[in-house]
């Protein structure tokens, strides 16, 4: 089964820089919570497992034929 | 119009992941297939706007994501109310995780705001860079990072995954932080 490369383990939450304005500017931003590495890894594992299960379903014939048919039309 | 075979192969190669993205967003296989079909028809109708040599998956994901946001977002409640029935239509069952764990994770993912869900899937499962994910979602890279982080934190809470960082706050402190000062 194909396993997708992901970038989940390198997530670094970006906090608002001083002077940045947005629609929530009047409300003080909530502090970003950093997950522990094990929790990050577990969520990444569950997410990839779910996604790869969907990928492994293959493609319904009608979708595959749709692209192939259009590829053959003049 | 005859599709260049190389372009056609790129499209075909992207469809399984595109469909997985659609299922992850919709929580419904039939709707996901409709979304993929609509995406392919739209992409092929505008194939001249695709620059050969650029990122075909990102281009297709962008189209699908925009279609989902514009036409399917109104049905979000159905995703949140999904009862897991759709998973029974899967041809093969989850391999690396058990069925119960799979269902719990799918249910938790469906509870995320759609912008957090799509960011997490694009970066954490579809394999896009933060730059690509930002381009697909039409937002800043920092926004994607923040959405991914919030999505993971929320999932950890929903799934009762211990999210204590070695150098971070303990669970009680996190609960207070996550509450945003309520009460």
> Would you list the domain boundaries of chain A?
36-69
Q: Does B37 touch chain A (CB under 8 A)?
A: yes
Classify the complex by whether its ipTM is higher than 0.85, answering yes or no.
no
In tens digits, what is the pLDDT along chain B, a chain of 183 residues?
677 888 889 999 999 999 999 999 988 888 899 999 999 999 988 988 998 889 999 999 999 999 999 875 566 555 544 444 455 556 665 655 678 888 899 999 999 999 999 999 999 999 999 999 999 999 999 999 999 999 999 999 999 887 555 444 555 555 555 554 443
A36 and B9 in contact (C-beta within 8 Å)?
no
Kindly report the number of other CB atoms within 10 A of residue B47's CB atom. 16
Tokens of A18: 């001083």
Question: Domain B5-179's class?
Answer: mainly alpha
> Is the pLDDT reported for residue A19 higher than 80?
no
What distance, in Å, lies between the first and last C-alpha atoms of chain B? 62
Tell me which of B77 and A68 has the higher pLDDT.
A68
B63, two tokens = 């189209």
What residues in A contact B145, CB-CB < 8 Å?
11-14
Which 3 state secondary structure label does DSSP give B180? coil
Where does the pLDDT of residue A5 fall: very low under 50, low under 70, confident under 90, or very high at 90 and above? low
- pLDDT at B80 (0 to 100): 47
pLDDT-derived band at A1, boundaries 50, 70, 90: very low
Nearest CA among B56, B40, B36, B158 for reference residue B108: B158
Q: Which of B17, B114, B117 is nearest to B58 (CA)?
A: B17
C-alpha to C-alpha distances, B134 to B7, B104, B141, B149, B158, nearest whole angstrom: 24, 28, 5, 14, 26
**Chain A positions in Cβ-Cβ contact with residue B166 (cut-off 8 Å):** 36-37
Out of B40, B91, B174, the one facing A63 most closely (by C-beta) is B40
């Amino acid at each position: 089964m194909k396993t997708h490369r992901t970038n989940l383990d390198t997530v670094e939450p970006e906090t608002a820089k001083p002077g940045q304005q947005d629609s929530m500017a009047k409300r003080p931003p909530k502090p970003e919570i950093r997950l522990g590495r094990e929790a990050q890894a577990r969520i990444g594992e569950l997410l990839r497992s779910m996604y790869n299960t969907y990928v492994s379903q293959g493609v319904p014939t009608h979708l595959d034929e749709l692209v192939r048919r259009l590829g053959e039309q003049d | 119009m005859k599709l260049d075979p190389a372009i056609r192969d790129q499209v075909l190669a992207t469809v399984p992941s595109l469909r997985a993205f659609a299922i992850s967003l919709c929580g419904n296989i039939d709707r996901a297939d409709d979304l993929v079909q609509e995406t392919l028809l739209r992409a092929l109708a505008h194939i001249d706007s695709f620059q050969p040599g650029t990122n075909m998956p990102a281009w297709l994901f962008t189209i699908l994501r925009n279609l989902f946001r514009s036409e399917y977002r109104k049905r979000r409640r159905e995703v949140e109310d999904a009862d897991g029935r759709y998973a029974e239509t899967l041809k093969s069952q989850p391999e690396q995780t058990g069925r119960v764990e799979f269902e719990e994770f799918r249910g938790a993912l469906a509870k995320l705001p759609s912008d957090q869900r799509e960011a997490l899937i694009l970066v954490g499962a579809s394999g896009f860079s933060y730059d690509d994910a930002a381009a697909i979602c039409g937002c800043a890279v920092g926004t994607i990072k923040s959405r991914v982080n919030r999505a993971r934190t929320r999932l950890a809470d929903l799934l009762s995954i211990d999210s204590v960082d070695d150098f971070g706050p303990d669970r009680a402190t996190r609960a207070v932080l996550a509450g945003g000062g309520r009460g």
